[in-house]
Amino acid sequence: MSRKHRVQSLKSKTKNQRPKTKIAILVSFIAAAIACNPAAPPRRSFVIAESKSYEASLFRQNCAICHGQEANGKEIDGKLIPSLRYGEAAKKSEAEIYDQIANGKLPMPSFKNQLTEDEIKKMVKFIRRDLQGKE
């Protein structure tokens, strides 16, 4: 088959395609274009409720009651419990966050007797890496 011949037969194939097929091709092109959009945000923020990690379940058991289900902070009896994602929490060092969890700071209780040292370290990492997007 010559090149010209092949192009022609290809053209006639496209022409004979049913409209449904053409629509399907168009739709898949649009979908691909949307998926490749460089302006789309790179990563959704971490959703604690959807996470099956050990740290997320520790958070749900020990911290969510005050800091909120998604650690965005909460108001209890007119007092604001801070977010662990933004604000002051995001300015704290690893050591300061560790100290806050282990020793507490009124009205936040100490977790030294509820969590092991390893669990507190895991929570520090969880706050910094998963919630604040730091290394």
The smaller minimum CB distance to ligand HEC, of residues 87 and 133, is found at 87
Q: How far is the CB of 52 from ligand HEC (least distance, A)?
A: 18
> Which residues on neighbouring strands pair with residue 79, listed in sequence order?
76
The smaller minimum CB distance to ligand HEC, of residues 4 and 118, is found at 118
Q: Which of 106, 110, 87 is nearest to 98 (CA)?
A: 110
The smaller minimum CB distance to ligand HEC, of residues 19 and 107, is found at 107
Residue 94 Cα distances to 41, 68, 85, 102, 122, angstroms = 27, 21, 14, 12, 11
Instruction: Give the DSSP letter of residue 129.
Output: I
Distance CA 67, CA 76 (A): 10
Q: How far is the CB of 91 from ligand HEC (least distance, A)?
A: 8
Distance CA 97, CA 125 (A): 10
Q: How far is the CB of 45 from ligand HEC (least distance, A)?
A: 17
The smaller minimum CB distance to ligand HEC, of residues 39 and 77, is found at 77
| 68 phi and psi angles, rounded to 5 deg | 95, 155
Instruction: Give the footprint of ligand HEC on this chain (CB under 6 A).
Output: 62-63, 65-67, 81-82, 84, 87-89, 92, 97, 100-101, 105, 107-109, 111, 123, 127
Q: How far is the CB of 88 from ligand HEC (least distance, A)?
A: 3
